[in-house]
Amino acid sequence: MNQTSHIQAPYSLKESSLHTHTDFSSVPKLDITIAKFGGTSVANFEAMTRCADLILSQPKTKLVVLSASAGVTNHLVKLANGLDDVAKSETLAAVRLIQEEILGHLQTEFQPNQALTNLLDRIDVLAKECQTKNISSDKRRMLADELVAHGELLSTTLFTAVLQQRGVCAVFFDVRGVMKTDSFFGRAMPKIELITHYAEKTLKDLVADNIVITQGFIGSNEQDQTTTLGRGGSDYSAALLAEGLHASEVAIWTDVPGIYTTDPRIAPLARPIKNISFVEAAEMATFGAKILHPATLLPAVRANIPVFIGSSKDPNAGGTYVSQVTEETPLFRALTLRRDQTLLTLHSLQMLHARGFLAEVFAILARHQISVDLITTSEISVSLTLDTTGSTTTGDALITPSLIDELNALCRVDVETDLTLVALIGNHLTKSAGAGADIFDVLSPYPIRSICFGASSHNFCVLVPSKDADEIVKALHKKLFE
Ligand code: ADP
Ligand code: ASP
Ligand code: MG
């Protein structure tokens, strides 16, 4: 008998986590909004000006969390990977250019020249250190985090000045004093008790009298070394700070007016969703909807803080409200897609009626710090995809020769790449008769590598060749949503 199951990605919300043991309604809320602006929203002076207008029109917005200006983190990640001298100076020049465009629009008295020089010099030093060949991988990951953190330090330095030039009482705040994490460089886990403690101690009074501008994505460990929360992590930062401060709302300002039924870049007829539940939105984020970092809703659920998602380009275009309960729970809510999936298939006759085989496989994967995402099993084989959410490494990079050696001692291993996971997000999927008919009708012309369904009533996942994925999403969207 074949079985399929879905192992929760580390970030996913279990339905049971909605029923928290703490009664958050008894914790008095701080009546402020925490606003997060993504990379495109702070890409240049014009975009920053729109954000400033928006903040000025919303008196409850007291804490502002920023991403790096669009493109900067990618440049810094390249530098962290150790470029040759020519590529390094070109990349540094590209980073400087983005900062200089914004600086050029500031009057001399508001130009944060010294702070910018210090940050750019430090980037230079760190980029040089990353070029060194003989450093340990731990040191490299530590240097990389400090380096990429500079994108957010630069954008917040400049945006504070943009607001000050507008006459706003804006203060720059280095979030690393509050956003305490473990030492897993590249994808650190936040420590919410410490974050709450430091937020209470250092941020609470500051937001009472100022508009505080701080960094998303970055934090620090026990030794005060800089860490990062994984790519796209600024959304998560905003939600964590909201939980730490007991804020009454989080607003995620991005380049689209809310969460759509699928990525509007893929299906132009995708439409915005007005209200969505925490569980549905978390499933979407987990299964690849880039609009939210997958962990964003965990703090929001724990503290029951509603999240709004809107467009900083067009704030009056409305947006999506994510909250605990919604009036409607449609069978089909949205489609998402996660590219660059790696599938490991392990075959072994020993698996037949054996006990403990999977436990051994998972122990090996855990030792290699690999998080398993989807899994399907048959009598003598098991297929699993690797979770690389938020990581700067792809799945195949995680499959090192030493991992393969260890697995080969146990079974035969096949590795497949160029796969994409398409997920249909909805409600009561496991209880609704006939829900599969339309789905399989659309999928019938395509080869399907794997299907995961049944563990959650909120998702149905298929792993397909990457070249077919956009077409499948378009076809499913047409059949189920248009
Ligand atoms: P930011 O820089 O503001 O964090 P991102 O690029 O991370 O913005 O996320 C916004 C992008 O997410 C949109 O431009 C859109 O292409 C993509 N996206 C993917 N899935 C969805 C979806 N279901 N709804 C809306 N946007 C989506
Ligand atoms: N700047 C970081 C990134 O590009 C974090 C973020 O934008 O949320 O991944
Ligand atoms: Mg993002």
Band (pLDDT 50/70/90 cuts) for residue 2 is very low
Confidence at residue 395, expressed as pLDDT on a 0 to 100 scale: 59
- Backbone angle region of 255, left / alpha / beta, with phi > 0 → left and psi within -120 to 50 → alpha: alpha
Most confident of 153-162, 316-325, 447-456: 153-162
Nearest to 303 by CA among 339, 250, 227: 250
Handedness of CA 48, 162, 227, 296 (dihedral sign): negative
Nearest to 409 by CA among 355, 357, 373, 366: 357
Residues at CB less than 6 angstroms from ligand 2: 38-39, 67-68, 73, 151, 216-217, 231-234
We find that the CATH architecture of domain 31-328 is: 3-Layer(aba) Sandwich (3.40)
Band (pLDDT 50/70/90 cuts) for residue 4 is very low
- Give 290-306 as a DSSP string: TTS-TTTHHHHHHTT--
Question: Dmax over Cα atoms in the chain, in whole Å?
Answer: 75
Confidence at residue 442, expressed as pLDDT on a 0 to 100 scale: 94
Band (pLDDT 50/70/90 cuts) for residue 438 is confident
Question: Ligand 3 centroid vs 254 CA: distance in angstroms?
Answer: 8
What's the average model confidence in pLDDT over 434-458?
91
What's the average model confidence in pLDDT over 263-273?
96
Q: pTM of the predicted model, to two decimals?
A: 0.90
Residue 141 has pLDDT above 70, yes or no: yes
Confidence at residue 3, expressed as pLDDT on a 0 to 100 scale: 37
Residue 433 has pLDDT above 50, yes or no: yes
pLDDT digit string (tens) for 158-201?
999 999 999 999 999 999 999 999 999 999 999 999 999 999 99
Residue 11 has pLDDT above 60, yes or no: no
List phi, psi (to 5°) of 401.
Answer: -55, -35
Ligand 2 atom closest to Cα of residue 67: 7
- Give 68-81 as a DSSP string: PPTTHHHHHHHHHT
320 lines ligand 1 (CB under 6 A): no
pLDDT digit string (tens) for 322-353?
998 888 899 999 999 999 999 999 998 776 66
Encoded tokens for 7: 């192992």
Confidence at residue 76, expressed as pLDDT on a 0 to 100 scale: 98
Question: Ligand 2 centroid vs 232 CA: distance in angstroms?
Answer: 4
Encoded tokens for 203: 């941020």
Beta strands in 28-103 (DSSP E): 30-37, 61-66
- The SS3 of residue 342 is strand
Residue to mutate, 36, 40, 67, 79, ligand 2, most ligand atoms under 8 Å from C-beta: 67
pLDDT digit string (tens) for 278-297?
999 999 999 999 999 989 99
Question: Ligand 1 centroid vs 148 CA: distance in angstroms?
Answer: 21
Confidence at residue 10, expressed as pLDDT on a 0 to 100 scale: 40
Most confident of 302-311, 370-379, 428-437: 302-311
Question: Ligand 2 centroid vs 73 CA: distance in angstroms?
Answer: 6
Domains 31-328 and 334-480 share a fold: no
Encoded tokens for 153: 């330090």
Band (pLDDT 50/70/90 cuts) for residue 143 is very high
Confidence at residue 399, expressed as pLDDT on a 0 to 100 scale: 82
Strand order in the sheet with 211-215: 170-173, 211-215, 61-66, 30-37, 247-254, 307-311, 319-323, 275-277
Residue 246 has pLDDT above 90, yes or no: yes
Please give the angle made by the CA atoms of 305, 237 and 19, to the nearest 5 degrees.
35
Q: In the chain, what is the straight-line distance between the N-terminal and C-terminal CA atoms, in Å?
A: 37
Q: Per-domain residue ranges for the chain?
A: 31-328, 334-480
95, 123 Cβ separation under 8 angstroms? yes
**Alpha carbon of 229 to those of 87, 191, 279, 311: distances in Å?**
27, 11, 21, 23
What residue has token string 């009708």?
Answer: 441
Length of the chain as a residue count: 482
DSSP category for residue 24: G
Q: Over pLDDT 90: what percentage of the chain?
A: 78
Mean of all residue pLDDT scores within the chain: 91
pLDDT digit string (tens) for 363-417?
999 998 888 889 998 888 999 998 766 565 555 667 888 999 999 998 999 999 9
Confidence at residue 394, expressed as pLDDT on a 0 to 100 scale: 57
pLDDT digit string (tens) for 462-481?
999 999 999 999 999 999 99
Ligand 2 atom closest to Cα of residue 152: 1
Cα gap 13→277, rounded to integer Å? 12
Encoded tokens for 126: 């760190």
Nearest to 450 by CA among 460, 459, 458: 460
The residue with greater pLDDT, 115 or 82, is 115
Fold of 334-480: VC0802-like (3.30.2130)
Confidence at residue 22, expressed as pLDDT on a 0 to 100 scale: 47
Confidence at residue 17, expressed as pLDDT on a 0 to 100 scale: 42
Ligand nearest to the CA of 216: 2
Residue to mutate, 217, 241, 254, 392, ligand 2, most ligand atoms under 8 Å from C-beta: 217
399, 342 Cβ separation under 8 angstroms? yes
Question: Ligand 3 centroid vs 430 CA: distance in angstroms?
Answer: 31
Q: Over pLDDT 70: what percentage of the chain?
A: 92
Ligand 2 atom closest to Cα of residue 237: 8
Please give the angle made by the CA atoms of 188, 189 and 190, to the nearest 5 degrees.
115
Confidence at residue 19, expressed as pLDDT on a 0 to 100 scale: 39
206, 199 Cβ separation under 8 angstroms? no
